[in-house]
Amino acid sequence: MFIEIEPDSAVPIYLQLAQQIMEGIARGELAPETPLPSVRAFAADLGMNMHTVNKAYHYLEEKKMIEIVPKKGVFIHANAIRSASTEEKARMEEELRPILAEALCLQLNREELAGMVEKMVREIREGSE
């Protein structure tokens, strides 16, 4: 799977990395237990600091999307595809809240929002932006 990073984007590079890996998992392209490149190799491919990759990996590890096994490597979490726990639902709500607040300010109605979600789910599944 190809990861495409835009160095000049407003989105931090570690987030671009994490988000694209997450999309890969959601799409099924990165199946559970698939190995990911080592921090050093990934950073070399990017031509960027290892710190950036580390940050992305820890971000994903915190979300239980990947597993960092010492001395063995980095893998997609065996339970990356799972039903959300109560805490995970609560965290998602918390993260969605400011976005919904902005949407309400911009007077998006429920249908429009539902349509947006529909469209994005389709895009993630098909693997296009």
Partner 1 sequence: MTIGLMVFIMVLLAAVQAFMPYLVKATEVFGIYVPEPHYRQEFLVRLKKNYSRLVLAGGLTSVLFYALAVNLLHIPEGQGVIWGVGLQLGIVAFSMALYFKNHLTVKKEKQQQGWVLGKKEKVIVDLQFRNDLEMVSGIAFLLPMLITVGLIALTLTLYSQLPDKIPVHWGADGQADRFSEKTIFSSISMPVILLIMQVLFYFMNQARKTSGSKISATQKAQSRKRELASRKYGSWLLFVTSISVTLLLGSLQLSLIYPELGGALWVMAMTIGFAILVLAGTALYTVKIAQFASSPAAGQSESGIIDADNDRHWKAGIFYVNKEDPSIMVEKRFGIGWTVNLGNPKSWVMVFLPLAAILLIAFLVK
CB 65 within 8 Å of CB 21: yes
Q: Which of 19, 27, 50, 127 binds partner 1 (CB under 8 A)?
A: 50
> Is 5 one of the binding residues for partner 1 (CB under 8 A)?
yes
> Is 95 one of the binding residues for partner 1 (CB under 8 A)?
no
> To the nearest whole angstrom, how small is the minimum distance from the Cβ of residue 69 to partner 1?
17
Q: Which residue in 42, 19, 43, 36 sits closest to 76, CA to CA? A: 36
* Single-letter residue type at 55: K
Name the site residues for partner 1 (rule: CB under 8 A). Answer: 1-8, 21, 24, 30, 35-37, 40-50
